Structure 1
C-alpha cells in the first residue's frame, strides 16, 4: 500500500479493539430468519409432501400401519435430502457473497491499510477515492476536489461537491465517490448509519425471481392443478367401482403423486447455486443467478483495451519534447528539456498515484530529478479528468507563492488547448504517428503560466503551452490472442471499446490477431449517427476508439436493439452505466472500481479475460445439464403417469398396478439422478464450438420438448407391453407388478446414461468423468435387488422374486424402450459430418 501522506496517523491497533468492543462491527443488525425452520415450513407447503401426509394418514386410519410408517419415513428422507440440497446451495451462495463484499481503505498506525468494510470501527480515518463505495458515515477532515453521488439516499443522481469547511462535510454509507479523494473520521457504522436506518424498512422485500425461475414455477403449478383434477377423476372412478372411500382415495393419490414433477425446482436451485460456486472456484464471481441463465446466449463481448487486452503494467519507454523536436528512448541520456517534460507530467498527476500510468510518471521523476520538490509543494486546485477526449490540470503552490500549473491528457485535447504553430503541429502529429504505429499509449503534457488567483471555471480557459508527448508501453497479455480465438470459435463477436486513439488501438489489435482491426470509429463520430445508421455501424465495426460514457452506452443499446446478447467488460467509474445496461456486465476484480463491481453482474477476480471464455463455457454447460435433468424428469414421469392411469381408464385386468409406496420409491430414485448426477456432468466436447443458443422466453423449444415426450411414450409402450405379456402368460397381479416395476426401474437407469448427451453415443459418454453416475446406478440396482429378493422387503412392496428369464425380459424391454434413441444420435452425427465436409469445418 502507498505510504500515508495525509497528516493523520488514524487509530492504533489497541484503539481499534476498544472501539470494536464498544460499538461492534460495521454490519446491519437486522432480524435474521431461522433458515432451518424456513426450509421446513416451505417443505410442508409442497404439494408432494401434502399428498404423502394425506396418504400416510389414510394408511394409518385403514389399519395399514407399515405402509403409513414407510410414507412417514419417506417424508423424513425427502426432508433430509431437501435440507442437504438447501444447505449446499445456501453455503455456495454465502461464499459468493463473502467474495463480492467491497473493501475499503483506512489509515491506521500512520499507514494506509485495505480492510473488509465490516472491520471499520467508529473513529477510523476512512480514505475514499474516485470509484469507491463509501462504507460508513463520517465527517470529512481532508479532501481534494471531492464529489459524491448520493442518489441512494436522495434520489438525485447529480454529483454533490463536498467542502469540509461548510455544513455539507459529511459522507454516508452506500453513496459513491465520483471524483477526487477525501479522508473522513467515521461517526456511524452498521445499522446506525443513515442507510442502515432506512434499510430496516426493507427487510420484508422479497428478492425478485429470474425469468427461468418464474417459468419453472409456473410449469410446476400447472402440473399441480392437473394433478388435482386427475385426482378427483380417478377418485370418482375408483369410488364408483368399489364404494370404498379410503381405498379409492389412496389410488387417486397414487396418480396425483406421479404427476407432480417436484424435482424440477430442486434441480433448478441446485444447478444455479452449485454452478455459481464452481465458477467462483475458477476465479469467476457470479453476482446474480440470472447471469448463469444468460451466459450461454452471449453473442457479442465488448472489451476494453487497457488491463483487459493489455497487462496494464505501464512503463514509460519514450518521450518527445517539442523543444528538442525528437523522440528519445528513456534509457538514453536525457536533456534538460526532456527532464522538464517528465517533471511537468508528474505535477499533472495525483500527489499519491494509484493509476499505473501516474505511478510510472512518479517513478520516472524520482530517477531523473536532481532534487525531489514534491514535499515543498501543496495541491491548491484541481480540474478533474474531463472533456472529449479527456484532460486534467493540477495547480500546486510552493515556497514564496511559486505556482506550478500542469496539464496532461489525450494529445488531441491538449493540442486544441495549447498554442502551436503549423510546423509544431506537424512535428507533434508525426511523433504521434510513430508512437501509435508501435502500439504505444500516448499522453500529452502542457503547462500554463497564468498569474491570476481567480481560477477559471474550466481548465480549457487557461492559456497552455505544449511541452511534449510521453509514450507508455503496455504489452498485450500473453494469452489474449488464444482467448479471442476461443470467442470466435464459440460464435461470439468481439468488439474493442477504448478511450485510446485509433492508431494505437489498431496496432495492438493487429498484434493479437483481432478480427476487424482495419476499421474503426471514434466516439464523437458515433454520436452523430442516426439510430438506423448506428445499428448498422455497430454491427459491421469492431474497433471503437476515443469512447466516453455516453458513447459506450449508446453502443451497448444499439447492439441490444440488433437482438444481440451483449457482454461487456469495464473497470472505471464511467463504465458503470454501460455495465448495468449490458446483459452481462463484467467487472475486473483487481483494477475495477467498486462502482464497476456493483454495476456488473459478473466479476473476474484476477482480471483474466480467458476466464470469461471459461464462464461462457460453464454457463452453457450449466444450462445444458439443467435441460438434461428436466428432460429426464419429463421423460420418466410420462410412463409413471400413464402406467398408473391407462389400466384404470381402460379397465384392464389389474387396474391399480402401483400403490403410493411404489411411486415414492421411483421419486426417490429420480430426485438424486436429476439433481446430483446431471449437475456433476462435464462439459460436452462440442459445447464451445456451437453457436450461442437463442435467448428466448421459453426454456424448451418444441423440438426438445417433443424429444422428451417421445422418450416418455416409448418407455410407456415398453412397460405396458410387459404388462400385457404378463397377462397373456397368465401371471398373477404380484408377478405382473414386479415385472412392470423392474421395467420402469431399468428404463430409469438406461435413460440416465442415454440422456447424458443428445448428440454423442453412450459409448462416448460412458467415458465422461462423473463418479456419481456409477454411484447412483449401483445404489439403484442394489436397492431394487433387495426389494425383489429379500422376503420382508418384497412382501412390503407386494413384489416377488423373478427368475433369470423374467428379469432379463424386463431389463431388456427397459433398455430397448430407451436405447432406440442411439439411432437418432447417429443420424445427427452423420448429418453434422456431411455438413462439415461441405463447409470444410473441423468435426465437433
Structure 2
C-alpha cells in the first residue's frame, strides 16, 4: 500500500487539525497547489478519484444462480415427477413458473448492481483546481490528495476537502447527514470525534454547495472518501433471505423428505404385505406422492405476491423485489429517517417571540397558507409585522408556485421567512420596492450573521439596516428591543432573552434572531460602526414539522404491535421534539451516535430496544442499530432517502426508499420505493403485506388438507385391504383441476377485519401454525371418511366400481369447494351473507370445476381416459350435500375452538364481522 499524504503521524483526522497543519501533511501549497508533474505522480500512486466498479456477473451466471435454492429444486422435482407420469400440462406449467421466476430474478439483480453506479454518479465530471499556481479545470477522476480545489454555489464537491477558506459557504449535506438545513462552513477545527454533521471545516464528496465560495485541500479521494466508505459498506452487506422464503425452503425440504420416506414404506407395504404387482404399486405410490406434494403451491404463492405488488402500488408503495411484499407483513420494527419521511422536509416558521409576548404562525411548509396570530386570535401588531418584514428583507431566497406546490430556491429557512411574511399580510414585491437593497454582508460562519442595507421609502431620508443570525450573536449587537407599538425600549433584558432562546431550542426548534437600525444618513456600504446599538425585533423558531398523516400512521403501527424508531443525522433535541409530536413514545428516549459508539455489540440490542430516537447518526451507526434489532429476532423495515441510508436500507429485511426526494443510491439499495415519500404509505404497505401472508396461509390451509385427504383415503384402503377409491389417473385429475382453480382464487381474497390489530408474527414462526396442523389432520381424516362412506354408498346402490369411483371424484371436488368457503376466513366465521356468496374469483372457480366435472362424468372421451361412468341425478346430488355438510362441520369446529380458546389465532379477530372494511 503506497504511503498516503492524508495520514497524519498521530492519526488525527483532518477536521481536528488546523488548515495549515493539514496543508503541511499533504505536502502541498495552499496558494500554489500541486505541480502538474507531482499531481501525475500522485495519481499513479493513489489511483483515480472514482468508486470501484462492482463485480459484474454475466447474464448466464445470474440466470443459473436463480436455480440454486430449495424452492426451485422443489419445483423442478415436481415437474420431473409429473413428466415421468405423462402429466405434461402440470410439468409445462411448473417449468413456466420456474422460468418466469428466474427471468424476474435476473432483472432484479441487474437493478441491484446499479446501486454502486448511482453512488458513482454523484461525482461531477470536472472540478476547478490550482495546479502549478494557476486555476484550471480538471477531470474529477484526476484529483489527488494535496490538490487545492475551488468551490462555489451550484458545485458538487468533487472529493473530501479540508477547507482553507470559506466565504458565506453553505453546503447541503442531507445525503450524508439527513439534516434538513444546509450546513454552515468555516475553517474551524473541531473535536476528533465530532459527528460528520458538526465538522464545519470539511466539505465532503458528493455534497452540494448551496451558497458562497470556498477553497479546500483534498484529503481523501475515491474509496477513502465518506461516499467511498458507504460504497464499501454496501458491497460488504450480504442480502438477507426473506422470512417467507426461509420458511418455504425449510418446508419444501421437510415435505420432500417426508414424501420420499413415506413413498418407499408404502411401496414396500403394498408389494410385500398386500401382494400388489410392483408396477401397479409404483404407479399408485407415485400418484400419491404427486398428490401429496403441492406442486402448484409455489406458483400460487408467486401469484399472491404479484397481486400484493399491484395493491401496494395503488397505495404508493412500488415493490422492486417480489418477496418484500410478504416481508412487510412480518415487520415488527420500522426504523425511519426523520427528514422528508416523518416530516415534510420543508422548514416552517412556527413561533415568533417579541419583547411583548409570543405569537404562532399556522400552516406548514412553504405554502403561504395560514396566518400569524397572538393568543386569543388577535391580529399581528407593529412589532410582529416589523419582525416578519426583517425576515423578508434580509433574505436571498425566492418562492415559486407550480401546480399548487410551493418550492423554495435558496436556503430553506429563508424560504420559510418568505412564507411567514405572506402569512403576516406583507407583499414581498411591494416591500422590496419600498426598501431597495443597497448593500449586503453575506452570512458567514465566522461572524454568524447576515446584514442588509435598504433605502427608506420616499420622502424619508436615511436607511434601514436589517440583521439576522445566530440569536446570541444578534443579541450581543443590540441595545434595546421593539415594543408592540413600534417603539424601542430603553433597556435590553439579556438574561430574559437568553431564557427565551433556550426555551425555543429545547422544543427542538432552530432559532434565528432579528434586529434593525434606522440610520439618519444613507451610507454607500455597511460599516462596522453601523452594527452596534441595534434594536432587537425578536426571535423566530423554525421546525421541519411532522406530516399529519405520519402521526396517524405511527398510531396505527403501534396499535399493530410495530415499534417505530427514528434514526436521523439531526440534532437530539430536534429529533426528540418531533418524536414526541409524532407519538413515538410519551417520553421518547434519545440515544446519540456517540452513545452507539460507546456501546459494545453485545450491549447494543438492549439500547436499540430501549431508545425510540437515534440522533446524530452516521451510516455505520444506522447499520449497527439495524443489525442489533435483527439479532433480537426483529423483522426490520428501514426507510431513508440519502446516500448515508443506503447501507442500512440494504441490511434491513425490507429497505424502503423515498421516490421523490430520495437519492438514486437509496432507491437502488431498497426493495420498496414510496412514490409519495410518506410514512403513512409504509404502514399501508405493512397492511397489504399482512393480507398477502394471510392469503398464502389460506392457500396452504386449503392445499395441504385436501391433498392429505387423498393420501389418507388411499393409504387407509391399502392398509385395510379395501378397494382403492381412486385410480392414479383420477388422483392427478383432481390435483390438476382444483389446484389451478380453487387453490388459485385464495390469492385474490380481500383482507379480513382486524388485520392491523394483531401483533406482528415472530420472524421464526413456523409456516404451519398449531391451528393449521390441527386442520390438516382433521380435514384429511374427515375427507378420507367421507370418501370411504361414498364407496359404501356406491356398493350398496350397486353402481359398480367405475361409477362409484366417478362419484368419489365428484364428491371429493365438492368437499374441496365446501372447505374452500370455510378456509376463506381464518379469523372469523364464514357463515355470513358475504362469506357464503364468495368473491367473483371464487364463483368463477367453482363454476369452472362444475363444468370440468360434468365433462369428466358425461363425455365419452373422458370416460375412456379416466374410466368413468355417467351418474344419475340422485347419486350426483350426494356430492354437493357432502360439501355443504363439510363446511357446516368445520365452521362448528372453528366456533367451538374459539369458545374453548385453544388456538391464539382464532382469538385475533376484531369485533367486526368478515364483511367489515379493513383499515
Question: What TM-score comes out, normalization by structure 2 length?
Answer: 0.61
Confirm or deny: 8 A CA contact 1:43 1:79 kept in the other structure. no
Q: Which residue of 2 aligns with 1:826?
A: 895
- Asked if residue 713 in structure 1 is aligned to residue 781 in structure 2, the reply is yes
- Asked if residue 650 in structure 1 is aligned to residue 682 in structure 2, the reply is no
Paired residues for 1:333-732 under 5 Å: 334=386, 338=390, 342=394, 356-357=412-413, 360=416, 370-371=436-437, 424=494, 427-434=497-504, 440-442=509-511, 470-472=540-542, 474-496=544-566, 514=583, 516-521=585-590, 523=592, 542=612, 544=613, 546-549=615-618, 556=626, 559=629, 564-576=634-646, 578-580=648-650, 582-652=652-722, 654-655=723-724, 657-673=725-741, 676-696=744-764, 698-732=766-800
Q: Which residue of 2 aligns with 1:749?
A: 817
Shift of 1:583: 4.2
Deviations 1:168-218 (A, max 9, x none): 99879x994799xxxxxxxxxxxxxx99xxx9xx9xx99875453243234
Q: Which residue of 2 aligns with 1:816?
A: 885
Q: Which residue of 2 aligns with 1:276?
A: 309
Confirm or deny: 8 A CA contact 1:497 1:545 kept in the other structure. yes
Paired residues for 1:180-329 under 5 Å: 209-235=241-267, 246-316=279-349
Q: Which residue of 1 aligns with 2:23?
A: none
Which residue of 768, 771, 774 corresponds with 2:843?
A: 774
Mapped to 1, the partners of 2:358 and 2:866 lie a distance apart of: 94
Mapped to 1, the partners of 2:387 and 2:258 lie a distance apart of: 87
Deviations 1:104-144 (A, max 9, x none): 9xxxxxxxxxxx999x9x998899xxxxxxxx996679756
Shift of 1:576: 4.5
Confirm or deny: 8 A CA contact 2:347 2:416 kept in the other structure. yes
Confirm or deny: 8 A CA contact 2:94 2:296 kept in the other structure. no
Q: 1:675 to 1:103 in 2, by over 3 A?
A: farther
Which residue of 80, 85, 96 corresponds with 1:83?
A: 96
Q: 1:243 to 1:554 in 2, by over 3 A?
A: closer
Shift of 1:552: 5.6
Shift of 1:488: 3.3
SS at structure 2 position matched to 1:587: strand
Q: Which residue of 2 aligns with 1:51?
A: 81
Mapped to 2, the partners of 1:284 and 1:137 lie a distance apart of: 36
Q: 1:660 to 1:669 in 2, by over 3 A?
A: same
Mapped to 1, the partners of 2:909 and 2:733 lie a distance apart of: 50
Shift of 1:665: 1.3
Mapped to 1, the partners of 2:761 and 2:733 lie a distance apart of: 36
Q: Which residue of 2 aligns with 1:147?
A: 159
Mapped to 1, the partners of 2:256 and 2:56 lie a distance apart of: 39
Deviations 1:433-475 (A, max 9, x none): 25766x75446899xxxxxxxxxxxxxxxxxx9x996533544
Shift of 1:640: 1.3
Aligned residues, how many? 699
Mapped to 1, the partners of 2:898 and 2:102 lie a distance apart of: 36
Paired residues for 1:80-119 under 5 Å: 80=93, 83=96, 87=100
Paired residues for 1:791-806 under 5 Å: 791-806=860-875
Confirm or deny: 8 A CA contact 2:560 2:757 kept in the other structure. yes
Q: Which residue of 2 aligns with 1:807?
A: 876
Mapped to 2, the partners of 1:516 and 1:223 lie a distance apart of: 44
Confirm or deny: 8 A CA contact 1:283 1:606 kept in the other structure. yes
Deviations 1:468-524 (A, max 9, x none): 965335444343343233223323344455566677667666666x26344554638
Confirm or deny: 8 A CA contact 1:382 1:395 kept in the other structure. no
Q: 1:407 to 1:338 in 2, by over 3 A?
A: closer
Confirm or deny: 8 A CA contact 2:337 2:640 kept in the other structure. yes
Shift of 1:535: 6.6
Q: 1:791 to 1:345 in 2, by over 3 A?
A: closer
Q: 1:606 to 1:717 in 2, by over 3 A?
A: same
Q: 1:494 to 1:335 in 2, by over 3 A?
A: closer
Confirm or deny: 8 A CA contact 1:315 1:360 kept in the other structure. yes
Deviations 1:573-612 (A, max 9, x none): 4445554555444332222334443454433221122211
Q: Which residue of 2 aligns with 1:154?
A: none
Confirm or deny: 8 A CA contact 2:159 2:205 kept in the other structure. yes
- Asked if residue 787 in structure 1 is aligned to residue 856 in structure 2, the reply is yes
Mapped to 2, the partners of 1:703 and 1:252 lie a distance apart of: 29
Q: Which residue of 2 aligns with 1:132?
A: none
Q: 1:781 to 1:269 in 2, by over 3 A?
A: same
Consecutive unaligned residues in structure 2, runs of 5 or more: 1-52, 129-138, 144-148, 162-195, 197-201, 207-214, 362-371, 373-379, 399-407, 422-427, 452-466, 477-491, 516-533, 914-919
Q: 1:737 to 1:469 in 2, by over 3 A?
A: same
Q: 1:269 to 1:302 in 2, by over 3 A?
A: same
Mapped to 2, the partners of 1:412 and 1:526 lie a distance apart of: 29
Shift of 1:720: 1.9
SS at structure 2 position matched to 1:312: coil
Mapped to 2, the partners of 1:538 and 1:592 lie a distance apart of: 25
Q: 1:373 to 1:573 in 2, by over 3 A?
A: farther
SS at structure 2 position matched to 1:679: helix
Deviations 1:287-309 (A, max 9, x none): 44554343233334344544334
Confirm or deny: 8 A CA contact 1:276 1:285 kept in the other structure. yes
